């Protein structure tokens, strides 16, 4: 698989995960463990905040590498951090 296809697959997966969450986390009659998802999201947000504290000029791509998520995932996290007042 070439890089462009891989990146596209990641974006599709991330979009599917977001839609899954919006749908109430149900697939095949099973509930998503929302507590685990929430903890993971909080840990990722904290990694982003720590990285920004260490280097205010860190890029979204660098944050994605640090956190192990896509650049779009970082964008989503930053938007939520901004909305919650944890960053500006």
Q: Give me the CATH number covering residue 60.
A: 1.10.10
| 87 belongs to a structural domain | yes
**Residue 78, domain member (yes or no):** yes
Structure tokens of 35?
């507590």
pLDDT digits (tens, 9 = 90+) for 51-75: 999 999 999 999 999 999 999 999 9
Residue 13 lies in a domain: no
Closest CA to 71 of 14, 1, 19: 14
User: Which structural domain range is residue 72 located in?
Assistant: 33-88
In a domain, 22, yes or no: no
- 16 inside domain: no
Determine, yes or no, domain membership for 12. no
Kindly state whether residue 62 falls inside one of the protein's structural domains. Answer: yes
Is 6 part of a structural domain of the chain? Answer: no
Query: What's the number of domains the chain is made of?
Result: 1
Q: Which residues contact 62 (CB under 8 A, 6 or more apart)?
A: 51, 55
Read off the pLDDT of residues 18-36 as tens digits, 9 standing for 90 and up.
666 666 655 544 455 888 8
Query: Looking at the whole model, is its pTM more than 0.85?
Result: no
């Amino acid at each position: 698989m070439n890089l462009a296809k891989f990146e596209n697959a990641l974006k599709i997966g991330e979009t599917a995960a977001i839609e899954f969450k919006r749908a109430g986390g149900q697939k095949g009659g099973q509930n998503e463990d929302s507590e685990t998802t929430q903890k993971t999201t909080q840990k990722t947000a904290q990694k982003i905040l720590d990285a920004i504290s260490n280097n205010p000029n860190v890029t979204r791509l660098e944050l994605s590498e640090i956190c192990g998520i896509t650049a779009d995932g970082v964008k989503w996290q930053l938007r939520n951090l901004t909305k919650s007042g944890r960053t500006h």
